Amino acid sequence: MAIQLNDPGLLKTQAYIDGNWTDGFEGKTFAVTNPANGEHLADVADLGAAETRQAIEAASRAMKEWRALSAASRSAVLEKWHALLLENQEDLAILMTAEQGKPMFESRGEVAYGASYLKWFAEEGKRVYGDIIPTPQTDRRGIAIKQPVGVVAAITPWNFPNAMITRKVAPALAVGCAIVLKPAAETPLSALALAELAERAGLPAGLFSVVTGSDAPAIGGEMTSNPTVKKVTFTGSTPVGKLLMRQCADTVKRTSMELGGNAPVIIFDDADLDQAVAGALVSKYRNSGQTCICANRLIVQEGIYDAFVEKLRAAVAEFSIGDGFAADTTHGPLITEKAVRDVHAKVSSAVEEGAKVVIGGEPQAGAGNFYQPTILTDVNPQMRVFREEIFGPVAPVFKFSTEEEAIAMANDTEFGLAAYFYTENMGRMWRVAEGVDYGMVGVNETAISSEVIPFGGVKESGQGREGSKYGLDDYLETKYICMGGLNR
Ligand code: ADP
């Protein structure tokens, strides 16, 4: 086996349903490969609708006892699970770099980030308060209590194979729900290792099942049509999110959707240039441009434009792209060959329409799914690199003159996940922060995410919030109880 772990027990290739490791009813498998070199890593159990149904039924059974426990008892399991993630941080990072490609320092960081959601919701789950409502009648009182929404189904992407799972599973379990997960077929090993650690933490069978499979529509179809599932939570592309919302309509399921982004980074003439370059650089090229809050469009004021591009070019020229396991690698591969083709198609179409390549601009020759870190100038809002999520290491740098124009450019998209801007002007900070139509705004900062903040988008970037005290709401129903006859 190509992956060497300190604890080989964390390399699981069977699915995890109702507390059992299983090959599925048909015994089929699908291959997981290393995007840095195409190496075959594992054959993982390939499940479908029937096993998904089995996991949902188990979740429904398991939830009955789980929801009746005290929040403190549920919290204790999540705390243990959190500790086990940190104890096994290196192995989880190795699995992640092998199947996803990101450099080891990013993988270690993601494991800590993923673990932080377990800890946060272990704590926050104890704070599910209700209300007593004074009523118009003197003989009664209204009470609002919060209850778990029911069985949850989750579908997650490959770009954050750990944290996108824990930020859904942790709040669901903390409030008393059970959850069935379909991880991305590109990165099932990280998800299965999480399940193994959940089992070691003492999570009772059925509360967290992992249905691995290559037939996403079959698994997703069952999750969205099965009446036992009360809530579907999804992180992924906007088209798939819309499809799942449509499918959920028939049984009126609640949904949380964390979908695509098209993040602007606006840099005003009055910005601290070095700070802005550093922020844009990290935001654009983290995970080789494959995050939903990655800077997609750098929008730079004319007075500072040339200096910004030159500093950005000099910084990008220092990148070392390569295998995520190599100590000097700063940037890893894209997830698939198709991803490389898609990114290059966007760059090529921009170049055909007049864009200039400052650096990069081509797939990297040789093995692995690498794309050169790229900067484009002479770009305009009609180009695909302005309108579409790039999901690769390509920075188109647009020019603007006035604050009004910058806000209009930032908002000229159907997406609304994250926006960033750099300025030293206090009035402008408020005007722009309030003027951009985004769920999250970074002012003089692009590293905005953590477990304590409400992560989520507006417009076609989705609905619902993950993390923070608001993240519990997505897994709770409000029930109104009328206590009457109080004057008798
Ligand atoms: P990406 O382009 O990042 O892979 P996707 O939206 O295609 O984004 O994938 C995110 C997750 O959605 C993955 O787990 C994938 O398997 C799943 N998925 C893709 N298509 C469907 C579908 N029709 N039904 C349910 N899940 C799907």
Residues 395, 468, single domain; the answer is: no
User: Rounded to the nearest 10 degrees, how much is the dihedral formed by the CA atoms of 265, 268, 272, 275?
Assistant: 10
**What is the spatial distance between Cα 193 and Cα 434, in angstroms, rounded to a whole number?**
41
Q: What is the best residue among 52, 240, 334 to mutate for testing ligand 1's pocket, by most ligand atoms within 8 Å of CB?
A: 240
Residues 24, 162, single domain; the answer is: yes
CA of 421 to the centre of ligand 1 (A): 31
CA of 236 to the centre of ligand 1 (A): 6
141 DSSP β-pair partners:
134, 483
Q: What integer pLDDT is reported at residue 250 of this predicted model?
A: 98
Ligand 1 atom 14: residue of nearest CA:
184
φ, ψ of residue 184 in degrees (nearest 5) = -65, 145
Q: Is residue 455 part of a domain?
A: no
Residues 237, 268, single domain; the answer is: no
Helices (H), 32-162: 49-68, 71-87, 89-100, 104-124
Please give the tally of structural domains in the chain.
2
Q: What is the best residue among 237, 293, 336, 342 to mutate for testing ligand 1's pocket, by most ligand atoms within 8 Å of CB?
A: 237
- The confidence band for 488, taking pLDDT boundaries of 50, 70 and 90, is confident
Q: What integer pLDDT is reported at residue 286 of this predicted model?
A: 95
Residues 133, 245, single domain; the answer is: yes
CA of 216 to the centre of ligand 1 (A): 7
**What is the spatial distance between Cα 435 and Cα 413, in angstroms, rounded to a whole number?**
14
Q: Is residue 364 part of a domain?
A: yes
The verdict on the CB of residue 220 being under 6 Å from ligand 1 is: yes
- The confidence band for 130, taking pLDDT boundaries of 50, 70 and 90, is very high
Q: Is residue 98 part of a domain?
A: yes
Q: Which atom of ligand 1 is nearest to the CA of 185?
A: 16
Residues 244, 296, single domain; the answer is: no
Instruction: Look up the CATH number of the domain holding residue 297.
Output: 3.40.309.10
Residues 49, 164, single domain; the answer is: yes
Q: Is 90 exposed, middle or buried (0-12, 13-18, 19+ CB in 10 A)?
A: middle
User: What is the tens place of the pLDDT at every residue in 465-482?
Assistant: 999 999 999 999 999 999
What's the average model confidence in pLDDT over 278-282? 97
Compute how many other C-beta atoms are within 10 angstroms of the C-beta atom of residue 174.
28
Please identify every residue annotated as catalytic.
Answer: 258, 292
User: What is the tens place of the pLDDT at every residue in 387-413?
Assistant: 999 999 999 999 999 999 999 999 999
Residues contacting residue 87 through CB under 8 Å, at least 6 positions apart: none
Residues 251, 348, single domain; the answer is: no
Residues 65, 203, single domain; the answer is: yes
Residues 326, 446, single domain; the answer is: yes
**What is the spatial distance between Cα 394 and Cα 296, in angstroms, rounded to a whole number?**
8
Q: What integer pLDDT is reported at residue 424 of this predicted model?
A: 98
What's the average model confidence in pLDDT over 415-426? 98
Q: What integer pLDDT is reported at residue 2 of this predicted model?
A: 79
Exposure letters 309-323 (e unless 16+ CB within 10 A, then b):
bebbbebbeebebbb
Instruction: Look up the CATH number of the domain holding residue 249.
Output: 3.40.605.10
The verdict on the CB of residue 237 being under 6 Å from ligand 1 is: yes
**What is the spatial distance between Cα 251 and Cα 3, in angstroms, rounded to a whole number?**
42
Q: Is residue 441 part of a domain?
A: yes
Residues 22, 150, single domain; the answer is: yes
Supply the pTM of this predicted model: 0.98
**What is the spatial distance between Cα 84 and Cα 80, in angstroms, rounded to a whole number?**
6
**In this structure, what token pair is assigned to residue 287?**
């995970």
Q: Which 8-state DSSP code applies to residue 230?
A: E
Compute how many other C-beta atoms are within 10 angstroms of the C-beta atom of residue 269.
15
For 387-451, give the DSSP string: HS---SSEEEEEEESSHHHHHHHHH-SS--SEEEEE-S-HHHHHHHHHHS--SEEEES-S----T
Q: Is the pLDDT of residue 1 over 60?
A: no
User: What is the tens place of the pLDDT at every residue in 334-384?
Assistant: 999 999 999 999 999 999 999 999 999 999 988 999 999 999 999 999 999
Residues 192, 68, single domain; the answer is: yes
Q: Is residue 486 part of a domain?
A: no
Residues 140, 78, single domain; the answer is: yes
Q: Which amino acid is at 307?
A: A
Structural domain of 425: 263-414+418-450
